[in-house]
């Protein structure tokens, strides 16, 4: 260690995000709604995007009512290129820059198999979970790369279905496996823009995306396979999210962090 390097106990603000601006897609409900509050509480300006403007505005008002909270909401459809460009521009107009992008918006297509999904199911899931993630990341990378002094962190929300899967998750599991690989390729190619690119891969938490399974009659048996014997809570993601967003993760890029109570280690 050089004389100039502070030891960890001299870096109490290691996970702080003061002065940074974070964009969160799919912030109208579930993980994205929660993540916006976590990043704001760590000191970031936050820009919330999703299609349900009323829900976004309610969360923005809530965050702005916190001591030090600074949030804006933007109506965002990640399937629309102009909408994504406007989302990034709103961040720049309001806060001068964008430093953190949480690619969280995601959909599933119900409990269908590869034999029962339709072409529309395939397009909807792959376009939202993968193509849109790439598109917004490209715009964000151009913004970060335009200023040599700027650095950025992209956090792609993956899923344990990239490692393990079960019947009835065909296009969703395929899309999340792609998110893992997209993360690795973007980390490799994005370093020259001053970017770190990582993925946070949650296990199962009850939301609109997961309720098809978690509220089904398979739920108890499914939960019994998780070493910690419980589904996740949003708060279980807070530490890993802040690690990837902040300087605490400054030497991390291309990683996928699985946060699942040990689910992917379960016996076959």
Q: Among this protein's residues, is 172 annotated catalytic?
A: yes
Contact residues toward ligand NAP (CB under 6 A) are 25-26, 28-32, 50-52, 76-79, 104-107, 128, 157, 159, 202, 204-205, 207-210
Closer to ligand NAP by CB, 63 or 107: give it: 107
Closer to ligand NAP by CB, 30 or 43: give it: 30
- CA pair distance 204, 220, nearest whole angstrom: 13
Work out how close the CB of 148 gets to ligand NAP at its nearest, in angstroms, rounded to a whole number. 31
Residue 57: CB partners within 8 Å, gap ≥ 6? Answer: 73
Work out how close the CB of 106 gets to ligand NAP at its nearest, in angstroms, rounded to a whole number. 2
Work out how close the CB of 49 gets to ligand NAP at its nearest, in angstroms, rounded to a whole number. 6
> Three-state DSSP class for 78?
coil
Closer to ligand NAP by CB, 16 or 131: give it: 131
**169 DSSP 8-state letter:** B
What residue is closest to ligand NAP based on CB?
30
Query: Edge-to-edge, what's the strand order for the sheet holding 100-103?
Result: 71-75, 45-50, 21-25, 100-103, 152-157, 195-202, 256-259
Here the tokens at position 101 are 């992008």
Catalytic residue selected from 114, 172, 231, 251: 172
Closer to ligand NAP by CB, 32 or 249: give it: 32
- CA pair distance 262, 264, nearest whole angstrom: 6
Active site residue ranges: 172
């Amino acid at each position: 260690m050089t004389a100039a390097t502070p030891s960890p106990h001299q870096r109490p603000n290691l996970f702080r995000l003061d002065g940074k601006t974070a964009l969160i897609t799919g912030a109208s409900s579930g993980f994205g709604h929660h993540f916006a509050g976590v990043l704001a509480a760590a000191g970031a300006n936050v820009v919330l995007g999703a299609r349900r403007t009323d829900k976004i505005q309610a969360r923005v008002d809530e965050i702005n009512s916190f001591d030090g909270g600074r949030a804006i909401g933007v109506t965002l459809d990640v399937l629309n290129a102009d909408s994504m460009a406007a989302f990034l521009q709103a961040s720049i107009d309001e806060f001068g820059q964008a430093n953190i992008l949480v690619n969280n918006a995601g959909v599933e297509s119900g409990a269908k198999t590869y034999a029962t999904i339709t072409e529309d199911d395939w397009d909807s899931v792959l376009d939202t979970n993968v193509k849109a993630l790439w598109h917004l990341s490209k715009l964000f990378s151009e913004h970060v790369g335009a200023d040599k002094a700027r650095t950025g962190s992209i956090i792609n929300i993956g899923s344990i279905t990239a490692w393990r899967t079960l019947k009835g998750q065909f296009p969703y599991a395929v899309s999340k496996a792609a998110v893992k690989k997209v993360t690795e390729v973007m980390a490799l190619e994005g370093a020259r823009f001053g970017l770190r690119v990582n993925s946070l891969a949650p296990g199962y938490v009850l939301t609109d995306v997961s309720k098809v399974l978690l509220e089904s009659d398979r739920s108890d048996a499914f939960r019994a396979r998780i070493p910690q014997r419980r589904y996740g809570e949003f708060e279980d993601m807070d530490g890993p999210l802040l690690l990837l967003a902040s300087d605490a993760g400054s030497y991390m890029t291309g990683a996928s962090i699985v946060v699942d109570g040990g689910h992917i280690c379960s016996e076959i």
